Amino acid sequence: MTGAVAGVKTFTRSYRVLSFLLLTSGVAAGAAQAADDGHAAKTASAPVVAIEAEPVWIRERTIPEATKARVANAQSGIAFLLLDEQHRTRADGHDDWFRTATKVTDRSGLESAGQLALSFDPAFETAGIAFIHLIRDGKIIDLTQDTKFRIVEREDSLKDGIVTGTLKAIANLRDVRVGDVVDYATTVHTRTALWPGHAFYHLSQRFSDPLATRALRFVWPAGTTPRFKALNSDVAFPPRKIAAGTEWEWIVTDPPAMRGEEDVPPGTFQWGRGDISTMKDWAGLARWATALYQDDESLPGAFAARLDSIAKASPAPADRLTAAVRFVQDNIRYVGEELGEGSYVPRRPAIVLARGYGDCKDKSLLLAVALRRLGIDAVPALVSTTGGERLPDRLPSPLVFDHVIVRVVIDGKVLWLDPTGTHRGGTGRGIVPSDLGYALPIRAEQTALEHIDGYGDRAGRVTVLEQFAVDETADIPLRLHVETRFTDARADTMRARWANGSAKAISDANLEFYHDRFPGLVESKTLELIDDRDRNVLTLNENYTMPRDAFGKAGIPAKLTTRAYIVQNVLPARQSSPRMQPLALPTDLANDQTIELRVKDRVLTPLDDLDARAGAMTFSRKTTALPDGLRVIYRLDTGTRDAVPASAAAEVYALSDQIKDNAGIEFYLEKSPHTAFAPKGINAATWAPIKADMEKAVALTQKNEQSTNLEALALLSTASGKVPHPSAAAGLIDGLKGAILSDLRRPQAAFAALQSATAQYDGNPPVYRLWLGYELDLGTAESFVKALERTIAVQPKEIGTLDKRLIQLALQKIVALAPEKREAARESLCMTLDKGGWQQDPRTDFGNSMLGCAIAAHSVRGNIVEARSGLAKDPPTEALLTMAIDRRHQALWPDIDRIGGDRFRRSLEREAARAAAVSAATPKDYASMTYRMQTLRALGRFQEALDAGKALASDKAQVEIVGTDAFWLVNEYASNLSALGRGDAAIAALDGVLALGLDRYPELVSFAINRAEIVVQAGRFDAGLASVTDLDTRRASGLSDYGRMWVWATKSCALRALGRVAEAEAVEANIAKTPQNNWSAATEAAACRNDDGAIADLIKLRLGDSEARHGALALLITFDTKTSQTAFQKRLRDALAAAIARPDVQRAFAKYGRAVRYAGTTQGWNEF
């Protein structure tokens, strides 16, 4: 029967309390430490299982009838009839009663039913037997006196270095038969002095085997105030007064057996969990633990001198931290002597150093003391290795923790380090922190749990490069080079594995792995293991060859199989039955595998690219054609979500299936066409003299060794001397040079070669993609744009394949240009991308933006024909309206006026229809639905937008799984509620997202700002002020300059509304220093103080700034469709209108733009 302890098949111990202690007298940490080294004195006589009278305090139970149905449902030959647990606290401990009654229904159950087993710790427990009965044909056979128990040591965790001192009493019953009922009861008496006045208990509710009756009962002495909390459980204990104090009891009859599922998050508690605790809060638990850790912290002279030497040699705290952590991890071996109270009380540092070993709490205390001597803030911290994220939902109890680590503050940042780790790399803040959810630092002033952050930044990555070189005519027809790189946490894991085995064993295992696909493969070069411990990077280099006879015998020419093994078997495999429990996911795993297959004189067909996701998890496969083969790049990123609800499991399984189906590729070489005599664009006469050199150079590059790459470069130089310059052949040669130099990590030389190659030869698409990357890295924003223009001229299809991240980086680089160059570079970029149809089929939001930008760029440059061609593509309404108000686009105004003759309503309707079609095709895509809702809000169809987005916005579990895209959908949902005047509902919608926590999701700060603004607009100025003050103080580091200006503006408005003018003026002084950081926020702050002069000045400044002008001109738009306004909002609009009406502002507006009426709402436009 399986409950909280998986795999246990007998009630004997599986329903034994995990831990339950009531203590009334304290013990000094020093005394406990002394006891640690003398446990034998506590148990001078050999422990026995005594026969005891049935306790008077228990409540009698009747064994349920073994009905036909109960027997029919029995598993493994056993029908469980009764499980009775009763627990009584005493002044010096507690008594535990366990009674089990089972019926043997089949021969298969005789072994299990005929053996009794009872575990106990003789350091503070004694065990007894009340009775052992066989019930046969209704008659009781008493085996109590005749049954003898044998005591054996039970060290289940010895292989992990843990010694507990637990004993196991085993007895075999005589003459047990099929049909018998085995009924027995045991008692355990506990005495200890570790938790003064407290009791703790954990229980599970559900089991995998049918059970007729389960009873739980607790007897509490007067004055005890226990609490109970059920987690995924409906167990409840209504209290009842009795003579001895208070009684809790819960009984259930015939509870259904439950089928457990695999891959269930530990914090789900699929078997049902109940916590019992008398501890009031986490602060009390921290104080209790602090008392155990406070005692003699003196260090032996030699070790103190070592630390002083470290401090002298390493003034930087990060270097001191590294030295101390490595000493404790590498020199103090892990041995857990969890004997009696020693499982909670740490041994003093001097003892640990003298022994050279200790457990987690011993090593953590030692490290904390050592770090404090080195001037570094450090304290031990209690953690749970399973279900740590659920600790805030648990009752405070020492028993929810099973491990100790160290909380360290270095350079102002908190690190959570595990001194029991081995073979760890990294230095200072680069050491990989623990990833265990929440922790309780052991210090007297600690009042709450703290979340353990930082692991995601150091989770690391595994990157595999497999390079296959095939020459079907050579003596060695197949060569394989494999480079595997591990970083950060992945490097720590692999380093520990390497330490447990020899290089020879690793080499043999890796060769055996490849033998499955390439029988006869041999190692051509000794395995190379490279460990850069400080950078925490491990690299493994393998080299193999396959002789001709093995190559042919294995049928490689007929079928060569590649396998992206690094992305396989990472996600949970599909289960056959419907999912009932949440599905656990691997977190922070990033695996990349590049497979290069180069085949001489063959043309390989490229694979279709794949992009798939399930929530935050993404999988992709990208294929690039090489001059002599293919490069296939697989990438799997699991994200940070550790689980999804059962309803989302199908999506994960689908992704897992897709990876399984696409990770292995079969190449049929014999069926692949042979390459042409000469490369495209190069005539045969030019190619003939260099053909041998070029083919040999390509073959050399396939060996992927520095020496052969250098030899290939020499051959290419020879070939270059045989062709005219400039020429297509010279460009081909330089392109190959550039690729080789890139592999040799000589970026400047590679860049120069690629520039020369693309200037002369246009027949090699991969060279152009490589060149664009180098232009972005080593060139200027302007040279990148020119490279893009060259590419579209000769390889136009390549533009459409560019990754949006490349374009995002290019735009960031353009922003850094001087103002006089910035706009021109951006215009050229937009026009080139538009010409190449980038992200236009289907059109994405990013593609929409680039289309509008391209039209505006053509207009400004006087390319009216091209601009009008762009207008025919039905650009986004925002782009049309932007040009309609800007005098720079006056030449297009007649065309735009025709399109927008109905005040752009038809344009808005078309955009809404497009968005609806995309959303219908991808109903679970949050970004698509957000765009649809925005188009509806622009039309004033607020309720329709709410109806469309309600299902996605209301699915709280999925919102957290999806993350940023889902957060913005909820924000859009709140905006529509506000537009309908439902401010409280809008705030509640945002609160649902913000409840996820800004610590876990820093991007939520934007939504916190939006929420505060809605609160202030609703006239709840005190609450709004509290919100923005919190953002301005506790969250200041997470605010951008733009966001900070909104915080200040909202704060200023709230303060003025509350009559706190002096405080508002101080905030406004900060705003006035950098209005260019957020012109709209600065304008809103001026409107809040009804200062139309300041508003006018800001508008004129914005109009004079070409980059800020767009936002100012938007104030000329008259929005025909209104949204609900509060009294506060109306006051601000009135102040803004007064400033706009001023003659000097009107003259400035007339110089740069014109007023336009717009059928839509203010959606997408800053109102200030």
CA angle in degrees (0–180, nearest 5) for 460-462-466: 160
With tokens 């062709």, the residue in question is 723
Measured CA to CA, the distance from residue 46 to residue 68 in angstroms comes to: 45
Amino acid identity of residue 443, one-letter, is: R
Q: Which long-range contacts (CB under 8 A, 24 or more apart) does 997-1004 make?
A: 998/1035, 998/1038, 999/451, 999/453, 1000/451, 1001/963, 1001/967, 1002/1038, 1003/964, 1003/967, 1004/967
3-state SS assignment for residue 387: coil
- 1117 forms bridges with which residues in the sheet? 1156
Q: Going from the N-terminus, what domains does the chain have, and what CATH number goes with each?
A: 11-278 (2.60.40.3140), 284-454 (3.10.620.30), 462-671 (no CATH)
824-831 long-range Cβ contacts below 8 angstroms, 24+ apart: 825/781, 825/782, 825/785, 826/853, 826/857, 827/853, 827/854, 827/856, 827/857, 827/860, 827/861, 828/785, 828/788, 828/789, 828/857, 829/785, 829/788, 830/854, 830/856, 830/857, 831/857, 831/858, 831/866
Name the token pair of 462.
Answer: 């595994």
- Alpha-carbon distance 6 to 206, whole Å? 12
Q: At what angle do helices 864-871 and 845-860 cross, to 10 degrees?
A: 150
State how far the Cα of 1108 lies from the Cα of 1102, in Å rounded to an integer. Answer: 5
Query: Is the distance from CB of 657 to CB of 574 less than 8 angstroms?
Result: yes
Q: What is the C-alpha to C-alpha distance for residues 583 and 652, in angstroms, rounded to an integer? A: 9
Residue 823 carries which side chain, given as an amino acid letter?
A: E
Task: Determine which helix (DSSP H) or strand (DSSP E) holds 497, and give its type and residue range.
Answer: helix 488-499
CB 300 within 8 A of CB 353: yes
Distances (CA, A) of 249 to 96, 240, 271, 275, 766: 14, 9, 20, 15, 74
What SS3 class is residue 85?
Answer: strand
Distance CA 958, CA 939 (A): 28
List phi, psi (to 5°) of 525: -150, 140
User: In the 8-state DSSP scheme, what is residue 527?
Assistant: E
Written in H, E and C, the secondary structure of 315-352 is CCHHHHHHHHHHHHHHHCEECEECCHHHHCCCCCHHHH
Distance between CA atoms of residues 944 and 447, nearest Å = 47
Based on its alpha-carbon atoms, the radius of gyration of the chain, rounded to whole angstroms, reads: 37
d(CA 596, CA 612) in angstroms, rounded, equals: 22
d(Cα 123, Cα 374) in Å, to the nearest integer? 38
Q: How many CB atoms lie within 10 A of CB 832?
A: 23
What pLDDT was estimated at residue 681? 83
> Starting at the edge strand that comes first in sequence, how are the strands of the sheet with 20-23 ordered?
20-23, 198-204, 273-277, 227-231
Q: How far is CA 858 from CA 823, 861, 1007, 1016, in A?
A: 12, 5, 36, 43
Taking only the tens place, the pLDDT of each residue in 1030-1075 is: 998 888 788 888 899 999 999 999 999 999 999 999 999 999 999 9
CA atoms within 13 A on the CB side of 69: 6
Q: Check: CB of residue 265 under 8 Å from CB of residue 642.
A: yes
The answer for residues whose C-beta is within 8 angstroms of residue 28's C-beta and 6 or more apart is 295
Among the listed residues 794, 792, 752, the one whose alpha carbon sits nearest the alpha carbon of residue 774: 752
DSSP 259: -
Q: How many C-beta neighbours within 10 Å does residue 1085 have? A: 31
Asked if residue 612 lies in contact with residue 661, where contact means CB atoms within 8 angstroms, the answer is: no
Per DSSP, 196 falls in state B
Q: Which two tokens stand for residue 383?
A: 């953690």
Q: Which residues of the chain have pLDDT under 70?
A: 1-46, 154-165, 338-342, 676-677
How many whole angstroms separate alpha carbon 83 and alpha carbon 101? 7
pLDDT at 336: 73
Residue 960 tokens read as 């957290």
**Which pair of structure tokens corresponds to residue 923?**
């109903």
Enter the DSSP assignment of 1038.
G
Give residue 887's pLDDT: 92
pLDDT for res 156? 60
Phi/psi of residue 422, nearest 5 degrees: -130, 155
Q: Tell me how far apart the alpha carbons of residues 1097 and 823 are, in angstroms, rounded to a whole number.
A: 25
Residues contacting 48, CB < 8 A, separation 6+? 149, 151
Identify residue 533 by its one-letter amino acid code. Answer: R
Q: Which helix (H) or strand (E) holds 595?
A: strand 590-599
Say if strands 211-221 and 78-90 run parallel, antiparallel, or are unpaired: parallel
What mean pLDDT value characterizes the chain?
A: 89
Residue 586 burial (CB < 10 Å; 0-12/13-18/19+)?
middle
How many of the other CB atoms lie within 10 Å of CB of 111?
Answer: 12
Tell me what pLDDT residue 766 has: 81
To which residue do tokens 């850790």 refer?
293
Closest CA to 584 of 649, 524, 504, 660: 649
SS (H, E, C) 819-869: HHHHHHHHHHHHHHHHHCCCCECCECHHHHHHHHHHHHHHHHCCCHHHHHH
The sign of the CA dihedral 963, 969, 973, 978 is positive
Rounded to 10°, the helix 781-794/819-835 angle is 20
Q: Write out the two tokens for 708.
A: 């052969």
DSSP 1004: G
* pLDDT score for 275: 94
Dihedral sign for Cα 978, 980, 986, 989, please: negative
Beta bridge partners of 991: none
